[in-house]
Structure formats: C-alpha cells, structure tokens
Structure 1
C-alpha cells in the first residue's frame, strides 16, 4: 500500500524531530557537526525512503525488464552518510587520536532513524534516537570523568 501525503509528512517530520534530539546534543557540546546536519540527514533519509517505496509500489515497474528493490536505497543512504561522517573526523591529533569520531558515527546512526521513519517504524526510530543520545552522553561523561 502506497504512503499517502499526510503519512509522508508525519514520517519526515517525526524523523527530523528524532534527528534534532541527537543534533542538539552535539550542537550544545560544540562538536564538529551542528544540529542542522543531523536534522537534514534524518529528514533526507526518511523522504528518500518513502518516495522510493511509493515509486516501487506505483506499478511503474510492471515491465519485467525493470525491477525495483527499495532495499538498495538503504545501501546508498548508508554509504552516502559515511562521507559526511568522514568529514566530521578531523586529521589525527599530536597524540595519535582522531577527533570527531563519535560525531561521525552519530551522523551515520541518524541515517538509520530516517530509514526507520521512512519505512513507518516510528517507535523504533524514537528508540534509536534515545539510544544514540544516551550512548553519546555516557561516553562524554566517561571522557569528562577520566580527565579529572
């Protein structure tokens, strides 16, 4: 069954809200990627997923020569977001440690929020965003505690 426009709006906005939860945490802490990047990745991933689902279900691919596999989009989203994550990771520090790795991983993980929302898994997306938020804060807490 195709996703109607009101459901599309719900999924995309919900995804943006979940991405904002993670993005605000990173923004407040002055990390390499700002809140806007997280929101845009979540929104873009969800929108692409819904549009692809609708296209696959629209009957355009009734010609046997054309096959549409929406799961291939997931592969593209994950790979594309990897480039953003790599951009968040700065060159090695003098101590040999990389900077921005958690932000890079977080932007990649936010893509899964968008994919989940686009597929209609809103509860799962909310759980993913809370889990990302908790993990980021736990490791920030450990880092602060370790530097005392």
Structure 2
C-alpha cells in the first residue's frame, strides 16, 4: 500500500465531510483564499488604526465562506444557499453597525467605511466559499482601490470646496 492510499484512507475515516484529498484541497483552498483576501482588507484598515482590523476582517471572510461552504458540502442545492446568504448579510449588518459612532451633528459620524468594509469582506468570503475565487480576488482588488485612492480624492475635494467658500466670502 502506497503512502497516498494511507493518507486518503485516513482522511476518509477521520473526516466524513471531507471524503478524499481532492475535497480536502478544495475546502482548504476556499477557506484559505477567503481568510487571505479578508486579511488584505483588514491590513489596510489596521494601517489606518481603525477599530476593525486584520483579525476581524479575516474572521468575517472566513466565517462567511464557512457558512456557505458547509451547506454545499451537505448537498444543499445552490438555490437554497440564498437563505444562508441572507442570514450572513443580516448578521454582518449588526456587526458593522457596532462600528458606527454618531456624534452631536449629522457630519460627526465615524465608522461607516469600516462597517462597509466588513460588509464587503463578508461578500468576498461568500464568493470564495462558493468557489468563485476569481470574483473574490477581483472584488478585493477593487475594494482596496476604493480604500486607498478615495481618501486623497476626498481631501482634495474638501480643500477645493473650502477654497471656493473663502473666495465667495471675499466677494
């Protein structure tokens, strides 16, 4: 008996939901991709010293992937996974709401971007868990572009508006 057969039998005997090495690789890959992509978004948030950072984003992506992956493994039809996804969206909405802080005025609201990032991270985890790894990667890259490129653009817009406001007050 070859080592490959021993490994395959051991996996089959010990892990009934992962019957063979191919399934083990498939499950591991999906979960690992979800965690890594969530980590990319979390790392950006961590660098900006936001409340939800690396670990939070990794766990949200990993959890979302697991929530859709397990029913697929159990043979639940893909059409019925939509109810699972509705639960994820609702649950992550509550998690994100916990990051939002409202001050005394309408302009004094903090945490919206972090909440949206957590929501996006869950969506990326769902995509990875369903086996849509390319979509998950593309979505992560687009989210990173938003998080990295928009703050300088927003600062420019604020400075420009302030400059226009000062010019209007002078005339």
TM-score, L = length of structure 1: 0.84
Matched, 1:117 2:128: yes
- 2-structure distance, mates of 1:126, 1:143: 26
For 1:33, which of 25, 29, 52 is the aligned residue?
52
Paired position in structure 2 for 1:64: none
Structure 2: state its 5+ residue gaps: 1-17, 160-171
1:135 to 146, 159, 165: 146
Q: Please point out which of 100, 103, 108 is paired with 1:89.
A: 100
| Number of equivalent positions | 138
Distance of 1:72 and 1:55 partners within structure 2: 15
Q: How do 1:1-148 and structure 2 match up within 5 A?
A: 4-57=23-76, 69-94=80-105, 96-146=107-157
Q: Secondary structure at the match of 1:27?
A: helix
- Quick one: higher RCO (CA 8 Å, sep 6+), 1 or 2? 1
Question: Residue 78 of structure 1 contacts residue 108 of structure 1 at CA under 8 Å; is this kept in 2?
Answer: yes
CA distance in 2 between partners of 1:54 and 1:23 (Å): 28
Quote how far apart the aligned CAs of 1:93 are. 4.8
Measured after TM superposition, the shift of residue 9 of structure 1 is: 0.7
Give yes or no for contact 1:56–1:70 (8 Å, CA) kept in 2. no
Secondary structure at 2:59's aligned position in 1? helix
Matches of 1:124 and 1:76, distance apart in 2: 21
Which position in structure 1 is the counterpart of 2:11?
Answer: none
- The structure 1 segments of at least 4 consecutive aligned residues displaced by more than 6 Å after TM superposition are none
Inter-partner Cα distance in structure 2 for 1:146 and 1:93: 24
Separation of aligned partners in 2, 1:5 and 1:47: 14
Q: CA–CA distance in 1 between the matches of 2:88 and 2:105?
A: 33
